[in-house]
């Protein structure tokens, strides 16, 4: 069975600092897609970053970047220069061709401190 594990239920970081959220997954597929989504308090889920497994280059999106280690099945999210608006629940998600569903991790609640 395909699974996604986020081992850090809660984290905090000082404003302007860097934080890394962990995600590991398990699959026997070779081609798949990984995502980080952000869900701010009482607001809707939005995509932070997307990574295709066949691409060796790590995805980046402004202050957000990933460290994708395919052999280790690890997909961590690094947030640089943390801002108060980054306070949110962060979910790691996974999908493969033909399944038509995302599998989500249990989330990491990130709090950015002023």
Partner 1 sequence: KAGVTQTPRYLIKTRGQQVTLSCSPISGHRSVSWYQQTPGQGLQFLFEYFSETQRNKGNFPGRFSGRQFSNSRSEMNVSTLELGDSALYLCASSPTVAGTDTQYFGPGTRLTVL
Residue ranges in contact with partner 1 by CB under 8 A: 33, 35, 37, 43-47, 50, 91, 95-107
Q: How far is the CB of 81 from partner 1 (least distance, A)?
A: 24
| Burial call 45-82: b when 16+ CB within 10 Å, e when fewer | eeebbebebeeeeebeeeebbbebeeeebebbbbbeeb
Q: Whole-angstrom Cα distance, residue 17 to residue 25?
A: 27
Q: How far is the CB of 46 from partner 1 (least distance, A)?
A: 7
Comparing CB distances to partner 1, the nearer of 21 and 82 is 21
Comparing CB distances to partner 1, the nearer of 44 and 56 is 44
């Amino acid at each position: 069975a395909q699974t996604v594990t986020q081992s850090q239920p809660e984290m905090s970081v000082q404003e302007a600092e860097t934080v890394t959220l962990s995600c590991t997954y398990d699959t026997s597929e070779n081609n798949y897609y990984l995502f980080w989504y952000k869900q701010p308090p009482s607001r809707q889920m939005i995509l932070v970053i997307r990574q295709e497994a066949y691409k060796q280059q790590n995805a980046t999106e402004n202050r957000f970047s990933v460290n994708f280690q395919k052999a280790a099945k690890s997909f961590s999210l690094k947030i640089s220069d943390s801002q108060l608006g980054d306070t949110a629940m962060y979910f790691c998600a996974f999908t493969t061709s033909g399944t038509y569903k995302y599998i989500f991790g249990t989330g990491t609640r990130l709090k950015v401190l002023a």
